[in-house]
Structure 1
Amino acid sequence: MTAQTPPFRDSQLPFAKRVDDLLSRLTVAERIALLHQFAPAVERLGVAAFRTGQEALHGVAWMGPATVFPQAVGLGATWNTDLVRRVGEAVSTETRAMRARDDRVGLNVWAPTVNLLRHPLWGRNEEGYSEDPKLTSAIATAYTRGLRGDHPAYWRTAPVLKHWLAHNNETKRDITSSSVRPRVLHEYDLRAFRETVEAGTVAGVMPAYNLVNGRPNHVSPYLREHLRTWTDQELLVCSDAGAPSNLVDSEHYFDTHEEATAAALRAGVDSFTDHGTDSSKIVERLQGALDQGLLTEADIDAAVRRQLSVRFRLGEFDPHLDPHADTKHFDTPAHRALAQEAAEQAVVLLKNDDLLPLAEGTRIAVVGLLADECKLDWYSGTLIHRSTPLEGLYERFGAEHVDFAEGVDRVRLKTSAGTYLSVPLADDVTDEARGAEGALDPALLAGRTDLPPLTTDVTGTDLALIDWGEGILTLRAPDGRYLSVADDGYVRASAEQPGGWVVQETFRLEPRDSHANGHLLKHVGTGRYVSVAADGVKVAADDAQDAEIFELIVTERGEDAVTRAAATADVVVVVAGNDPHINGRETEDRTTLRLPEHQERLLRAARAANPNTTLALVSAYPYAVDPEDIGALLWTAHGGQAAGTALARVLAGDVSPAGRLPQTWYASDADLPDLLDYDVIGSRQTYLYFEGTPLFPFGHGLSYASFTYDGLQVDQGNGELKVSVTVTNTSGVAADEVVQLYTRAVHPSVPRPRRELAAHRRVHLAPGASAELSFELPLHTFEFWDVAHGRWRLEPGAYEVLVGASSEDIRLRCTIDLDGTPAPPRPVLELGLNAADFDEQRDAEIVDRTKESGDAVTPAGAGEDVGDGEAELVFLACDFADGTTMASIEAAGEGSAELALADGTVLARLDIPATTGPYDYTTVAGPAAHVTGVHDLHIKLRGRVRLARVGFSG
């Protein structure tokens, strides 16, 4: 290093010293500018521009062609951490290779999503790995380890986990609050993040849009109280897009953007993703907050330091030492093979009445809306290669053995003038919309305004009407182009697939009672109706009275085509499922587990025509289907570029299926809690607590092989259990088995999981081969969060260790006794009670005690139009010692609190006078009935009251 070279350029110095040196050279204005997602270059120091955020959930997204792997929920279904690590390696390698060609590709990747799949109607179900925190963290750790790379100093990419915290609803996602009691917080939601952060494989996290316990995640004290205590590494916290402005604009949590931005920065947000590439508003807000004394330069420095730490780890300042700088591997044969392997391992066989695998020479009818589709989702890259189930079956069995019927209804739309909607022929499409060889270029077609709009004529065009359920449909021209609406409002056949942040390819048909078979055609994206003008068909009518009335003429029913194909086949494969951009996606939750009615009709038609029917569900989430009359049932998430090949190989038996369900499949909507009920313990959610009979349980998945389990042995010592078991392939088929290890407290003092995944292993066994598997379980595996004492505790007593092929298919078990710490009763006279530390509750929700930290409890809906509300809290085993004489509560709002024992004995009734606001707490005290010893305490809250603490004195 020369005398002129600054220390931050000295690769011999530790990163921390180099970060400090660079930070000291930046002006305050330069530091503030670095806090926006698009940080500008600092040319006087030779520091390049930097962008946080590159989507890479299952491949490099939004940056053009890249290898597309199965959706995240499909990767979760593999239960294979080694495979997922290799997928992460491939994705980060392609990220580096793409960046070498295009500096818009970022190295700070926003992936994976580790929100738990608590509720299967969540619109973003496809983005998570599992409903179980242990499986989720294991898969997430594997993926981030692959993304990070194994170099001790320089990272290939810097992954950020999404979305902190307790985020499982798209409905009003920026204003709804998840009520998460301490046990659920520690045992469920935090666990999904914690093990991956502790593994040292992530660069940071992204807060979610929602609120938790009444406080927006972007000002969450948990970032400081939990996240940053799990590691000594500097963690970068990146805001979600637009969320900083939401703090004022939609959540109304702060009065000014300066207050909001300052609060987020102080809470731990280091990079603000807001207003796209325009950083001026965030810079202005941060500078204003600094000028108003809401921030200090030290607050700004802390955030900038964390940003720079990531950039140094990515090798930005040491290009000559960065081992990843010259990565060129992109769309390699190895990556293509890995995409196929991942898709094959993600297939889950749910039922098989000896219908599968299909024999050579079998005549197959492949039918259904997904039969010839390779669907992408919002976070997919652009396909370089693709295979649909139909193409995969053609390839595997030969086109002469495969018949196809999509099963869509073919329709014509007749106008009130007697003409029909007509799609311009492909020959009429402009040359600009064609590729080099004259073929339609889908990338150029979508959203174009120079393509000819639909018109009307006396013959019209047969359109494929694809019904996705809930009244949502798409319309497709004979050449495969979907009807879409561009910014100018004209309807054109101009999209390869439905897609986009606002989908422009979806419509609704609204019956017009005043006309026989008359319908209005409403465009969902704009909310306007289709009308016919001299210059073409457009969406221009806001009022139904101004819309065109179409007569819907069905020229062929989809069921008829399915029936014809099924009747002449040996086996029917119905491929059903969802389009990831419709009826369940980011911004939109599902409303039902049911398969769309049109797809149910196709399935019924296939079964009626041919009893040898297999249903292959290709979907981003579970469905409630009746498997009774189905010979075989499979599920796979949308499997990326190799989806069709993988499914065909499983159907043919080239690969024995070994995917396992990463979440419970429920039998009906009646089994589900409210979407916004985040109390998995109280409302008995997920396989951990669900007491009903699932359609298919967590961890379920069948094989073409058979396996036995023997020799379960459990040894205890050195603070852990060592569990071993021998698994043998007793069939003539080489296959994978997923061995699952669960634990259960036999006689818990508080509600504990029915069983809980502690470890798993996916193992490949040749016919007749055996493998002895060993697992090491630290004793803290058996702990629970003791709300009475605010800590993890191992309860002494009996525990079961269970080993099997699913959460309900347990092959071996044994019972062990563990020493632990007996729980003394709650010392309520000495310590009082925090209201949120209840053991049980009825109609209560947790809210923010202050805007900065702490919790309070209020009746659900209190302060809203539904009324004042009433709730009950239960605190078990409260020790009143030698007796009480006074009771006190710390509360805000207005209402009352009744404190009573389980037998109905009232200790005190306290009225809370109206306070000036929700954070204006007052202490109300009064005489209490004399009670001694240990009792359960019941507190009934009435009114618009927020209870923070309860105290007693003798």
Structure 2
Amino acid sequence: MNKIQNRRLLTSRGLLLTACALTACAFTACTGDTEKSAHAVGVNKSTATVDASATFDALPFRDTSLPIEQRLDDLVGRMTLSEKISQLYNDAPAIERLGVAKYDWWNEALHGVARAGKATVFPQAIGLAATFDDQLLGEVATVISDEARAKHHYFADNGMAFRYTGLTFWSPNINIFRDPRWGRGQETYGEDPYLTGQLAVSFINGLQGDDPRYLKTAAMAKHFAVHSGPEKSRHSDDYTASKKDLAETYFPAFKTAVMEADVEAVMCAYNRVNGEPACGSDMLLKETLREDWGFEGHVVSDCGAIADFYEPDAHNLVRAPAEAAAWALKAGTDVNCGTGRLSTFANLGFALQRNMIDESEIDTAVKRLFATRFKLGMFDPADSVPYTQIPMSVVGSEEHLALAEKVAEKSMVLLKNDGVLPLVEGTKVAVIGPNATNFSVLVGNYHGSPINAVTPLAGIRSRAGAGNVVHAPGSALIADQYGHYEIVSAQNLFHRNGDGELQAGLEAEYFPVDLTRGEKARDFRYIPATTLAESPAFTRIDPTVDFYWTRSPIDDTVNGDFGVVWKGVLVPQASGTYLFKTGAELLLDGQPVDGAVSLVAGEEYALTLSDVFLRTVSGSPLEPEVQLTWVNTSRDYAAEALEVARGAEVILFTGGISAELEGEEMSVELEGFDGGDRTDIKLPSVQQDLLRKLKALGKPIVMVNFSGSAMALNWEDENLNAIVQAFYPGEATGTALARLLWGDVNPSGRLPVTFYRSVEDLPDFKGYSFANRTYRYFTGDVLYPFGHGLSYTQFAYSNLNVPETIAPGEELAIDVTLTNSGERAGGEISQVYLSLPDAPVDVPIRELKAFRHTQLASGESTKLQFVIESEDLAYVDNAGVFQPYRGRVNLTVGSGQGPYLKAPQFAEATVVIP
């Protein structure tokens, strides 16, 4: 019996329930008072009164000896209609009379526990995929779930129970990265459904744990389905996908997540699919997810997606929220994430009155949600749940940070190398480029706060010795987007003493927050407008503004609200045009700072900086931080870079883009960038110009490209000596990069996406047909193919052994000898690709069907064995049905796509299925 069968069997027999102190925004449904609601669901008033006074532990749904179905029936049967509907929001309020704590379902763990303060930050998901190592992803997810459990119980013990404190994680993102222009592609495992599915299984298993009774955390596969941009129009787009493309490309990773990993949750997407909103699609949620695949978990809407059903600027398919709520619920969406537009499901009471839905459909959704909370152990004694004792000391432990460094090393892909790498000891290098000190390229998006963030420059200086490293940023990332903001130093910040004399540091007033003062704010969260207390709790002099708080400076509590006002004088040491970056409100000479400011050296500017930190409000930072940073945009950065480069032996160019330019529904509107997506995939022109000037110096140039998506590095490939694709490698970026550049570690990463030469080679961004997309269907010339990656050693494949023929329905056994024929130890990613040239319909040109990471010493050989299951030898017909294949099966085993472009190390053979 496998783990999934075992878990389902035990679930059917009854799970233990735990009472965790979890909270959320107490937003309730408008369905009438408790007495009327009780009457509507057949619970009489006297029963409700008895329930309210009963001892919680004596209630039948608390009885762990009962089957889970009986316990769910008992719990839901005790709820009023209003209470049941309220549990279908992402921020579900408490039902105090039943001892049910409030809970917010929203939490994130894409590549580390996210948005919940300090946590180990691993490479962004696209970098995790570049390892081509599913076992390693399992280790990563196990670390993440360890830290998640520790932080959850720590927050609960300190009275913090709202968004980002729970155990239901909305990760991984397993959409197919079909087009490099999509800004959120960095969150995925790339363009291949097989690779995505295999990595997803390992990641989900690591998050959910291996206990047969309890989930460690609940993972989610998102966004179902046919979802990969554009970001700007995702709320209104209707994507047409053929049955063949659905079965062949869009569905397989989700099917694998459900049927092989037993993923607990699925998130439906914003967009429509073939006319229906994804969160209201019977085809997706009923027929495919639940009926065909047997999904037993819960479905969550993307946040605000159900409001898109009726919003005039979105899908605009129905006239009223109640109709949208009924549509989504009947299709199988259980949780309405309503952030931004409240909860459409608040209208379910009206929908029930108008016979749009049946109450049994509400009951079904509520039971699915509480089944998950049961599996997480949210009503059991802590000592009966194996994960409750994981201590906070695991967060950022030495072992976890070591794994982050190891994974970062394995995530980097050596795209080109003419022999300049690895660098020899004592090499004098010039680190030039806008990403040398850019924090954003470490973490990507959906990230936590790193424990020990190491920038590329810091890592290189540590490895090579400060005396062998010079640095200049060289340019902006693009336009007015800079990667090298610095903390405004103590040399620039002053205040006046009682005698009017300038003294070092800013006067800082630390205030308690009085949430009862002021009017209600008009934003979507209904947060009271905060007013600081009349008097500060204390004042002090702060030399700079660079703070991270795990406890309130006011009362030393973990969940205390507070505000800070800094006042003083700014005295710049150099004249110029400055940009400031801070999360706080900044005034200079009494005027808000918005955009570039001209400052004169030695002049005094009155400065006020203020911020309020509301940790008791759902969605606010759990561990707040604030910095005051700036950059002088007037400097001749190119001239500075050329000057420092002249004295170096090798130029290390740290360029690319950042997660501040590409990502989810952003406001960025620049040349080549549009609302989080990209309209071009070239390196920004300011960096191209700088590279050409550096090239003219005649020195070797190694480019380290940071991006979450493919880049058209055409000139760079032709003119630079080496190129490393780093993606966004996590908090150990600098250390891992330096070790790779100097050969302490041998690169083994492979591209999980195709690097095209131009967007002109691609179909329309909104076209969801896979014709001429990704390596499986693209017929043009590419810069670097999917699966490509170089090493400092050489590997050879020999003695490929496959049968000449196999019978229909038989598996295909492959064995081959892999030899490290070079002079260094190294890791090889062996990839098996199949082609089905005799299929009666159009099929992929080639498809990845197996991969394996192998570490070999110099001269060492090993035999690799692969088994391709019979279902992987089928093809998808035009009706979307898998059909048994007969004819030739062309296969390659090697370091990439066989003879295709840059993969010289491979073996090939043909097998016939008669």
Instruction: Calculate the TM-score normalised by the size of structure 2.
Output: 0.76
Cα distance in structure 2, aligned partners of 1:124 and 1:453: 41
Q: How many residues align?
A: 744
Map 1:857-896; keep pairs closer than 5 Å.
none
**Equivalent residue, structure 1, for 2:81:** 28
* 1:235 equivalenced with 2:349 (yes/no): no
Paired residue for 2:207? 147
Q: Alignment partner for residue 719 of structure 1, among 810, 814, 819?
A: 810
Normalized per residue, the structure richer in strand is: 1
Q: Which residue of 2 aligns with 1:272?
A: 336
Matching residue of 1:68: 121
Cα 1:623–1:491 change in 2 (3 A) is farther
Paired residue secondary structure (1:709): strand
Q: 1:334 to 1:229 in 2, by over 3 A?
A: farther
User: Contact conserved, 1:454 with 1:492, CA < 8 A, in 2?
Assistant: no
Equivalent residue for 2:388?
325
The one-letter code sitting in structure 2 at the alignment partner of 1:581 is E
* Cα distance change, pair 769–17 in 1 and its aligned pair in 2 (3 A): farther
Identify the residue that residue 908 of structure 1 maps to in structure 2.
none
Please list, as runs of the form range in 1=range in 2, the aligned pairs for 1:684-723 lying within 5 A after superposition. 684-715=772-803, 716=806, 719-723=810-814
- Choose which of 392, 398, 403 in structure 1 pairs with 2:470: 403
Q: Which residue of 2 aligns with 1:19?
A: 72
What is the letter of the counterpart of residue 433 of structure 2? G
CA apart distance, 1:343: 0.6
1:811 aligns with 2:901: no
Provide the C-alpha distance between the structure 2 equivalents of 1:757 and 1:435, rounded to a whole number of angstroms.
61
Give how far 1:374 is off: 2.9
Larger RCO (CA under 8 A, 6+ residues apart): 2
The structure-2 alpha-carbon separation of the partners of 1:111 and 1:4, relative to structure 1 and needing over 3 Å to count, comes to: closer
How far residue 424 of structure 1 moved from its aligned partner, in angstroms, is 10
Select which of 179, 188, 205 maps to 2:240: 179
- The residue aligned with 1:798 is 888
Go from structure 1 to structure 2 and tell me whether the alpha carbon gap of 1:135 and 1:493 turns closer, same or farther (over 3 Å shift).
farther
**Change beyond 3 A, Cα 1:676–1:491:** farther
Question: How do residues 340-489 of structure 1 correspond to structure 2 at under 5 angstroms?
Answer: 340-375=405-440, 376-408=443-475, 425-428=492-495, 429-432=506-509, 438-442=543-547, 450-451=565-566, 461-463=575-577, 475=579, 482-483=580-581
Distance 1:97 1:317 in 2: 18
**Structure showing greater Rg:** 1
1:564 and 2:564 matched: no
Change (3 A) 1:485 1:6: closer
Q: Letter of the 2:838 partner, please give it.
A: H
CA–CA distance in 2 between the matches of 1:308 and 1:435? 49
C-alpha distance in structure 2 between counterparts of 1:81 and 1:196, whole Å: 13
CA RMSD of aligned residues (A): 3.4
* 2:334 alignment partner AA: D
> 1:409·1:556 contact (CA, 8 Å) conserved in 2?
no
**In 2: Cα distance, 1:435 partner to 1:69 partner:** 37
Query: Larger deviation: 351-360 or 235-244?
Result: 235-244
Letter in 1 for 2:910: T
Separation (CA, whole Å) in 1 of partners of 2:848 and 2:290: 26
Partner Cα separation in structure 2 for residue 669 and residue 760 of structure 1: 29
Shift in alpha-carbon separation, 1:493–1:813, aligned structure 2, 3 A: farther
**3-state DSSP class of the match of 1:316?**
coil
Conserved? CA contact 1:573–1:614, under 8 Å: yes
Q: Which residue of 2 aligns with 1:418?
A: none
Determine the structure 1 residue equivalent to 2:399: 334
How far apart, in 2, do the equivalents of 1:453 and 1:673 lie? 55
Conservation of the 8 A alpha-carbon contact between 2:183 and 2:663: yes
What are the Cα deviations for residues 886-944 of structure 1, in whole angstroms up to 9, with x where unaligned?
xxxxxxxxxxxxxxxxxxxxxxxxxxxxxxxxxxxxxxxxxxxxxxxxxxxxxxxxxxx
1:12 CA displacement: 3.3
Could you say what secondary structure the match of 1:749 adopts? Answer: coil
Unaligned runs of 5+ in 2: 1-15, 17-54, 481-487, 496-505, 511-538, 554-561, 599-604, 610-630, 667-675
For 1:868-889, what per-residue CA distance to the aligned partner results, in whole angstroms no more than 9, with x for missing partners? xxxxxxxxxxxxxxxxxxxxxx
Superposed, 1:483-562 pairs within 5 Å as 483=581, 556-562=635-641
- Equivalence for 1:581: 660
Distance 1:324 1:492 in 2: 52
Q: Letter of the aligned partner of 1:263 in structure 2?
A: W
TM-superposition CA deviations, 1:501-557 (whole Å, max 9, x none): xxx98x599xxxxxxxxx9xxxxxxxxxxxxxx99999xxxxxxxxxxxxx998532
What SS does the aligned partner of 2:732 have? helix
Between the aligned partners of 1:633 and 1:226, the Cα distance in structure 2 is: 43
| Shift of residue 777, structure 1, vs aligned partner | 1.2
1:46 and 1:141 map into 2 onto residues whose CA distance is 35
TM-superposed CA distance for 1:643, in Å, is 0.5
What CA distance in whole angstroms lies between the structure 2 residues aligned with 1:294 and 1:235?
24
Residues 208 and 409 (structure 1 numbering): CA distance in 2 closer, same or farther, change over 3 Å? Answer: closer
Structure 2 SS opposite 1:351: strand
2:300 and 2:336 in contact (8 A); partners too: yes
Aligned to 1:611: 699
Query: Which amino acid is the alignment partner of residue 743 of structure 2?
Result: G
8 Å contact 1:483–1:493 — kept in the other structure? Answer: no
Deviation at 1:3, TM superposition (A): 13
Which letter maps to 2:422? P
* Alignment partner, residue 831 of structure 2: 740
Q: Quick one: structure 1 residues 409 and 448, their matched pair in 2 at CA, closer, same or farther if it must change by over 3 Å?
A: farther
Aligned to 1:601: 689
C-alpha deviation, 1:754, in angstroms:
1.1
What SS class does the counterpart of residue 170 from structure 2 fall into?
strand
How far apart, in 1, do the equivalents of 2:540 and 2:701 lie?
Answer: 40
Q: Unmatched 5+ residue regions in structure 1? A: 414-420, 465-474, 476-481, 495-503, 510-518, 520-533, 539-551, 820-954
The aligned residue for residue 137 of structure 2 is 84
Q: Are the equivalent residues in 2 in contact too, given 1:340–1:646 (CA < 8 A)?
A: yes
- CA distance in structure 2 between the partners assigned to 1:645 and 1:4 by the alignment: 52
Q: Percent identity?
A: 36
Give how far 1:11 is off. 2.6
Say which SS state the counterpart of residue 195 (structure 1) adopts: helix
Which amino acid in structure 1 is aligned with residue 212 of structure 2?
A: P
- For residue 119 of structure 1, report the CA deviation from its aligned partner: 0.3
How much has 1:747 moved relative to structure 2? 2.6
Q: Is the 8 A contact 1:344 1:647 kept in 2?
A: yes
Number of the residue aligned with 1:45: 98
Does structure 2 retain, via aligned residues, the 8 Å contact 1:455–1:537?
no
1:161 and 2:221 correspond: yes
- Listed one character per residue, the Cα deviations across residues 401-440 of structure 1 (whole Å, up to 9, x for unaligned) are 1111111479xx9xxxxxxx99993335442599998442
Aligned CA distance change for structure 1 residues 491 and 28 (closer, same or farther; 3 Å): farther
Q: Does 1:623 align with 2:683?
A: no
Shift of 1:490: 7.3
Residue-by-residue CA offset, 1:628-664 (whole Å, 9 max, x unaligned): 1111100111111100100000001000000000000
Q: Tell me if 1:257 matches 2:321.
A: yes
Residues 436 and 738 of structure 1, relative CA distance in 2, 3 Å threshold: farther
Which SS does the other structure have where 1:762 is aligned? strand
Contact 2:843/2:876 (<8 A) preserved: no
Structure-1 separation of matches of 2:755 and 2:153: 43
Partner amino acid for 2:639? D
Q: CA deviation at 1:166?
A: 1.1
2:389 partner amino acid: D
Q: Does 1:204 align with 2:265?
A: yes
Q: Which amino acid aligns with 1:441?
A: D
Deviates further, 249-258 or 315-324: 315-324
Query: Do the aligned partners of residues 454 and 251 (structure 1) sit closer, same or farther apart at CA in structure 2, a change above 3 Å counting?
Result: farther
* Kept in 2: contact 1:422–1:456 (CA 8 A): no
**CA shift in 2, pair 1:82/1:248, >3 Å:** same
- Per-residue CA deviation, residues 240-288 of structure 1 (Å, 9 max, x unaligned), is 1111211111221111100000100111100111146x97x54530111
* TM-score, normalised by the number of residues in structure 1: 0.73
